[in-house]
């Protein structure tokens, strides 16, 4: 059965030389914390929004949710976020099994907020899984 390409999820990927555990604990309360650990001298957090208990709503809604979460961080956690040398929004897509394109428009307002927060964008396309 042919499956179209589709948006899967949005991950927030953070890396820092500073311990991010307090930020991870907060994100675990307001989002879905996927990973918190230390490797090769860096602290690493991966989280995704959980909107109504669902992490995979649509790209724009996920973007707005994560931006809102980050904008409302308490000052000490905002300092930890700002201290990260790597801040990435990673948009994940299923590549699908047919050639129909998948396009997602992110409004300029969200793109401006992403840039203002110093967040890089990454697009990850996964091979279709049956």
Residue 20 is predicted with a pLDDT of 97
- What is the Cα–Cα distance from 62 to 77, expressed in whole angstroms? 21
93 and 101 Cβ atoms separated by less than 8 Å = no
Q: Which two tokens stand for residue 24?
A: 């991870």
For residues 68 and 51, the answer to whether their CB atoms sit within 8 Å is no
Query: pLDDT-derived band of residue 53, with 50, 70 and 90 as boundaries?
Result: low
The tens digit of pLDDT for each residue in 68-88 reads 999 999 999 999 999 999 999
Under the banding of pLDDT at 50, 70 and 90, the label for residue 110 is very high
Query: Are 92 and 104 a contacting pair, CB within 8 Å?
Result: no
Residues paired with 45 in a beta bridge: 14, 36
Tokens representing residue 100 in the block: 């129909």
Contact 58, 90 (CB under 8 A): no
């Amino acid at each position: 059965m042919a499956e179209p390409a589709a948006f899967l999820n949005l991950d927030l990927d953070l890396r820092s030389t500073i311990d991010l555990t307090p930020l991870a604990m907060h994100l675990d309360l307001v989002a879905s914390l996927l990973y918190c650990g230390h490797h090769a001298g860096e602290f690493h957090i991966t989280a995704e929004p959980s909107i109504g208990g669902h992490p995979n709503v649509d790209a724009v809604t996920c973007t707005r949710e994560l931006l809102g979460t980050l904008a409302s961080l308490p000052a000490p956690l905002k300092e930890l976020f700002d201290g990260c040398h790597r801040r990435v929004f990673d948009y994940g897509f299923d590549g699908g099994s047919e050639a129909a394109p998948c396009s997602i428009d992110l409004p300029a307002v969200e793109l401006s907020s992403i840039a203002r927060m110093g967040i890089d964008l990454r697009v990850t396309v996964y091979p279709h899984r049956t």
